[in-house]
């Protein structure tokens, strides 16, 4: 056997033994024998660098240093899941999907791992990229770090052609977390708070060698590729044979009652699992039915997360303080006697508003019960009035802003109190600038929330336009602002001038104008002047823009200082006009509503929808009397066809659609 053959043989044997050890839990050789084989391969690769392979078993040990993680776009979005908390919620979900799918529906139900979602890309059976979920559209490329995790296969078992994505959760098993913390305490270091946060932080370590020392595990939960699997249960039953780590506790059934028995079992017995879970995930099994069901703007319609009831514990309410948000909203905060809750030390909890405090008659000094909403945000759920002091006094909400002293007002129809000192209340100023530089808005590198507060408190900025007047000599030497940091900040501010209009619009912080609304406004009006000069009727004519949003935009545009700031931003060449590539190609389909169903030969469903939207048409998920056309592909569900025919809605093919757009076939 020559050198190359020996190297390839050792690699194959090590991949096989790793698979048996980490996936099948059925090792054939001892740890010592495995280590000796690995050392032999390391020696041969070092002596023969021409045979280097990025996915060799020797590369799992790490050693590369990543100073900053590259952002990578997912080929298909990683949507979040809609939540449910009862069998009734699940039955309502089932009713909704059965309005679209009129054939029998099978479900799969799996444990919802409490970790960090990861998107693994395989090409010709080899791992080429690992990207965090991020905002669902793009995430951080953490490939080098993920390669150190033994349960992530570097090379799949079998013959694979082309490229596909596999999605899973990076978790830290509880036993590994406890050992890691024991080691940290022995070394005089602070213990980590909980396994989920520790797993997340581990993936962002710069040195992959250090990541390899963290007890991380990858549990795969999805490969939605019809070339590999016909449905989800086929994936769950077979993906392990390809090298993926699949957790075996799942349920496959057509009955929600059976599924709910599975849910109740694991809600009672989750403490016995080797890792943390926060619920279960229910999915439609069939991939074609999933395609028909599609997505809302946030969630897949074919999946639902059932969240377990959060942990609840009691503690003392020591005091109530107040936070002022960027819109002037006053949020009361409970300062608690520290208590361990779901793996973290909780010291504070939101009290929401005056009505919440009044409804529960919450008082300083009370013994209160706290839970983590969705196992994340602490909230007070009950007051033990039997433990209340005899001299306890009813809590009175303050009349004046705790930050600037302005008189608070409660607006009609609002639950919150507001400080209306828009331009003179420092937390509002800081909050607006922090929103402007946030990741989904201008995403200014080198400028974090603490730095914004530092700049405002030092009198260097008073609004987001002032950022573009900052000079290097003004900021170098500030606290935590060395020469390199100052340069990064200035460069990050300059780079933000290339951020597209819809993100700038979101960054302005107009009340009720979130990320999705900003995109719709930008696409409809195409520039900032058209938006700010529009009257109420023009604004509410835009899809999904209601009275509340329209009034808020008008209120923003009538504030002289806002207009001054926008004019200043224009002078700094901020993007206040939609990019040509995002504009409609034509308006030939304007006023027409389309439902797209089935599988197409020349376009994907998403491409068909984009083609319609960029030519002025509107996409709807279900057929109604307002539908203009049903664009039908092969394997279209019979219920859609029947409903379209019943309502006399014209059914067209993809070819007829393209002819329609090109003007060759005017079906109107």
Instruction: Concatenate the DSSP letters of all residues of 231-277 into one string.
Output: BHHHHHHHGGGGT----S-EEEES-HHHHHHHHHHHHHHGGGSSS-E
The total number of residues shown for the chain amounts to 668
pLDDT at position 587 over 90 = no
For residue 31, what is the domain's CATH number? 1.10.287.610
286 and 321 belong to one structural domain: no
Task: Average the pLDDT over 211-215 and give the result.
Answer: 90
H runs (alpha helix) in 511-600: 515-525, 528-532, 536-540, 547-557, 560-571
The one-character DSSP state at 308 is P
286 and 177 belong to one structural domain: yes
Q: Nearest-CA neighbor of 565 among 423, 660, 398, 442?
A: 423
pLDDT at position 393 over 50 = yes
pLDDT digit string, tens, across residues 237-259: 999 999 999 998 999 999 999 99
Of the two residues 496 and 186, the one the predictor is more confident about is 496
Token pair 């809600």 is found at: 267
CB-based burial label for 467 (10 Å; 0-12, 13-18, 19+): buried
Q: Nearest-CA neighbor of 315 among 332, 338, 343?
A: 338
Q: Is residue 419 part of a domain?
A: no
pLDDT at position 30 over 80 = no
The one-character DSSP state at 151 is T
SS3 324: strand
The one-character DSSP state at 372 is E
Q: How far apart are CA 610 and CA 105, in angstroms?
A: 29
According to DSSP, the residues that pair with 377 across neighbouring strands are 373
Of the two residues 443 and 63, the one the predictor is more confident about is 443
Q: Which residues contact 176 (CB under 8 A, 6 or more apart)?
A: 214, 215, 216, 217
- Mean predicted lDDT score pLDDT of the chain: 87
Task: Average the pLDDT over 439-467 and give the result.
Answer: 90
Mean pLDDT check: name the lowest of 6-10, 21-25, 105-109, 122-126: 21-25
Q: Is residue 208 part of a domain?
A: yes
Tell me whether strands 593-597 and 618-619 are parallel, antiparallel or unpaired: parallel
pLDDT, position 92: 93
Query: Which of 480, 498, 516 corresponds to the end of one domain?
Result: 498
121 and 175 belong to one structural domain: yes
> What is the share, in percent, of the chain residues with pLDDT greater than 90?
49
Task: Average the pLDDT over 123-145 and give the result.
Answer: 89
259 and 331 belong to one structural domain: no
The answer to whether 37 touches 13, Cβ cutoff 8 Å, is yes
Q: Is residue 142 part of a domain?
A: yes
Task: Average the pLDDT over 627-655 and give the result.
Answer: 86
Q: Is residue 588 part of a domain?
A: no
pLDDT at position 384 over 90 = yes
229 and 316 belong to one structural domain: no
pLDDT at position 344 over 90 = no
pLDDT, position 262: 95
Task: Average the pLDDT over 405-428 and give the result.
Answer: 90
Q: Nearest-CA neighbor of 372 among 398, 399, 340?
A: 340
H runs (alpha helix) in 458-534: 472-475, 483-495, 501-507, 515-525, 528-532
Q: Which of the given ranges, 383-387, 476-480, 541-545, 621-625, has the highest pLDDT on average?
A: 383-387
pLDDT, position 536: 92
Mean pLDDT check: name the lowest of 220-224, 543-547, 635-639: 635-639
Task: Average the pLDDT over 530-542 and give the result.
Answer: 92
Task: Average the pLDDT over 166-170 and give the result.
Answer: 95
Q: Is residue 330 part of a domain?
A: yes
pLDDT, position 126: 92
Q: Is residue 417 part of a domain?
A: no
96 and 12 belong to one structural domain: no
Task: Average the pLDDT over 153-172 and give the result.
Answer: 91
110 and 214 belong to one structural domain: yes
Q: How far apart are CA 57 and CA 377, in angstroms?
A: 41
31 and 84 belong to one structural domain: no
For residue 338, what is the domain's CATH number? 2.40.50.140
Q: Nearest-CA neighbor of 118 among 139, 101, 90, 149?
A: 139
Of the two residues 599 and 343, the one the predictor is more confident about is 599
SS3 394: coil
Band (pLDDT 50/70/90 cuts) for residue 666 is very low
Token pair 């922090």 is found at: 434
pLDDT at position 609 over 80 = yes
Instruction: Please give the positions annotated as active site.
Output: 112
pLDDT at position 60 over 80 = no
Q: With the C-alpha atoms ordered 393, 404, 564, 560, is the resulting torsion angle positive or negative?
A: positive
Band (pLDDT 50/70/90 cuts) for residue 65 is very low
Neighbour tally for 147: CB within 10 Å: 21
Token pair 């602070």 is found at: 190
Q: How far apart are CA 228 and CA 635, in angstroms?
A: 19
116 and 262 belong to one structural domain: yes
Q: Is residue 67 part of a domain?
A: no
> What is the share, in percent, of the chain residues with pLDDT greater than 70?
92
CB-based burial label for 512 (10 Å; 0-12, 13-18, 19+): middle
pLDDT digit string, tens, across residues 261-270: 999 999 888 8
pLDDT at position 116 over 70 = yes
Q: How far is CA 454 from CA 421, 508, 621, in A?
A: 21, 20, 48
216 and 271 belong to one structural domain: yes
Structure tokens belonging to residue 65: 């240093």
The answer to whether 557 touches 545, Cβ cutoff 8 Å, is no
Q: Is residue 418 part of a domain?
A: no
pLDDT, position 570: 95
359 and 281 belong to one structural domain: no
pLDDT at position 347 over 80 = yes
Q: How far apart are CA 217 and CA 213, in angstroms?
A: 12
Neighbour tally for 290: CB within 10 Å: 21
pLDDT, position 581: 61
pLDDT, position 649: 92
For residue 451, what is the domain's CATH number? 1.10.150.20
The answer to whether 284 touches 290, Cβ cutoff 8 Å, is yes
Supply the range of the domain harboring residue 100.
Answer: 73-307
272 and 161 belong to one structural domain: yes
Token pair 């710069």 is found at: 206
Structure tokens belonging to residue 534: 């529009």
SS3 18: helix
Query: Which of 37, 61, 85 corresponds to the end of one domain?
Result: 61
Q: How far apart are CA 20 and CA 243, in angstroms?
A: 9
Contacts 24+ apart (CB under 8 A), 490-494: 491/445, 491/446, 492/444, 492/445, 492/446, 492/447, 493/444, 493/447, 493/467, 493/468
pLDDT, position 668: 42
Task: Average the pLDDT over 87-104 and give the result.
Answer: 92
Q: How far is CA 404 from CA 25, 323, 399, 454, 597, in A?
A: 62, 12, 12, 18, 57
Q: How far apart are CA 322 and CA 611, in angstroms?
A: 49
For residue 137, what is the domain's CATH number? 3.30.470.30
Q: How far apart are CA 249 and CA 221, in angstroms?
A: 12
Buried b (16+ CB within 10 A) or exposed e, 492-510: bbeebeebebbbbbbbbbb
The one-character DSSP state at 527 is B
pLDDT, position 66: 53
Task: Average the pLDDT over 132-160 and give the result.
Answer: 89
Q: How far apart are CA 641 and CA 651, in angstroms?
A: 8
Of the two residues 630 and 183, the one the predictor is more confident about is 630
The answer to whether 618 touches 592, Cβ cutoff 8 Å, is yes
Q: Which of the given ranges, 191-200, 586-595, 643-652, 658-667, has the highest pLDDT on average?
A: 643-652
Q: How far is CA 101 from CA 74, 97, 106, 363, 619, in A?
A: 28, 6, 11, 52, 19
For the chain, what is the domain count? 6
Q: How far apart are CA 467 and CA 499, in angstroms?
A: 15
Q: How far apart are CA 194 and CA 186, in angstroms?
A: 18
Band (pLDDT 50/70/90 cuts) for residue 375 is very low
Task: Name the strands in the sheet holding 107-113, side by side, starting at the edge strand that comes first in the sequence.
Answer: 83-84, 303-307, 277-284, 107-113, 250-253
Query: Which of 549, 582, 615 corresponds to the end of one domain?
Result: 582
């Amino acid at each position: 056997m020559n050198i190359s053959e020996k190297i390839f043989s050792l690699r194959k044997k090590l991949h096989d033994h790793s698979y048996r050890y980490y996936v099948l839990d059925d090792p054939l050789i001892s740890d010592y024998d495995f280590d000796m084989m690995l050392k032999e391969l390391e020696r041969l690769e070092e002596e023969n660098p021409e045979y280097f392979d990025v996915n060799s078993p020797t590369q799992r040990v790490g050693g590369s240093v990543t100073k900053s993680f590259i952002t990578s776009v997912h080929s298909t979005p990683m949507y979040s899941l809609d939540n449910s908390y009862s069998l009734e919620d699940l039955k309502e979900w089932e009713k909704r999907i059965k309005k679209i799918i009129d054939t029998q529906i099978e479900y799969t139900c799996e444990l919802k791992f409490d970790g960090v979602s990861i998107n693994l890309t395989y090409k010709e059976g080899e791992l080429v990229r690992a990207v965090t979920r991020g905002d669902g559209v793009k995430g951080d490329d953490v490939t080098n770090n993920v390669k150190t995790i033994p349960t992530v296969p570097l090379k799949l078992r079998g013959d694979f052609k082309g490229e596909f994505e596999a999605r899973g959760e990076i978790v830290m098993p509880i036993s590994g977390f406890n050992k890691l913390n024991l080691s940290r305490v022995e070394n005089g270091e602070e213990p980590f708070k909980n396994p989920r946060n520790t797993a997340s932080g581990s993936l962002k370590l710069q040195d992959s060698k250090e990541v390899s020392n963290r007890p991380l595990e990858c549990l795969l939960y999805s490969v939605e590729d019809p070339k590999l699997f016909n449905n989800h249960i086929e994936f769950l039953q077979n993906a392990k044979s390809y090298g993926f780590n699949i957790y075996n506790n799942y349920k496959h059934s057509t009955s929600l009652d059976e599924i709910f028995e599975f849910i109740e079992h694991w809600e009672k017995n989750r403490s016995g699992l080797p890792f943390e879970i926060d619920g279960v995930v229910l999915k439609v099994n069939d991939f074609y039915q999933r395609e028909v069901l599609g997505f809302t703007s946030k969630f897949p319609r074919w999946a639902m997360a059932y969240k377990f009831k959060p942990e609840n514990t009691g503690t003392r309410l020591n005091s109530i303080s107040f936070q002022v948000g960027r819109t002037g909203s006053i949020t009361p905060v409970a300062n608690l006697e520290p208590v361990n809750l779901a793996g973290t030390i909780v010291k504070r909890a939101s009290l929401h508003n005056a009505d919440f405090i009044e409804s529960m008659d919450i008082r300083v000094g009370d013994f209160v019960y706290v839970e983590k909403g969705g196992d994340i945000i602490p909230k007070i759920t009950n007051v033990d009035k039997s433990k209340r002091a005899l001299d306890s006094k009813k809590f009175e909400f303050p009349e004046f802003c705790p930050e600037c002293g302005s008189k608070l007002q409660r607006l009609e129809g609002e639950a919150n109190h507001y400080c209306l000192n828009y331009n003179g209340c420092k937390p509002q100023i800081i909050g607006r600038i922090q929103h402007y530089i946030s990741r989904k808005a201008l995403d200014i590198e080198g400028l974090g929330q603490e730095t914004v507060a530092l700049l405002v408190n030092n009198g260097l900025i008073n609004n987001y336009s002032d950022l573009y007047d900052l000079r290097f000599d003004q900021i170098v030497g500030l606290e935590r602002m060395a020469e390199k940091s100052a340069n990064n900040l200035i460069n990050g501010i300059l780079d933000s001038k290339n951020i597209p209009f819809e993100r700038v619009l979101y960054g302005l912080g107009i009340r009720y104008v979130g990320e999705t609304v900003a995109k719709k406004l930008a696409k409809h009006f195409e520039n900032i002047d058209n938006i700010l000069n529009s009257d109420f009727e023009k604004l509410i004519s835009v899809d999904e823009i209601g009275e509340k949003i329209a009034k808020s935009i008008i209120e923003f545009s009538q504030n002289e200082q806002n207009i001054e700031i926008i004019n200043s931003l224009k002078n700094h060449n901020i993007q206040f006009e939609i990019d040509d590539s995002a504009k409609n190609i034509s308006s030939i389909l304007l006023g027409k509503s389309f439902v797209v169903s089935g599988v197409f030969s020349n376009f994907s469903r998403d491409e068909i929808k984009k083609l319609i939207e960029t030519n002025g048409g509107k996409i709807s998920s279900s057929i109604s009397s307002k539908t203009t056309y049903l664009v039908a592909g092969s394997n279209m569900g019979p219920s859609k066809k029947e409903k379209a025919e019943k309502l006399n809605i014209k059914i067209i093919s993809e070819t007829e659609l393209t002819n329609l757009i090109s003007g060759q076939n005017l079906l109107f």
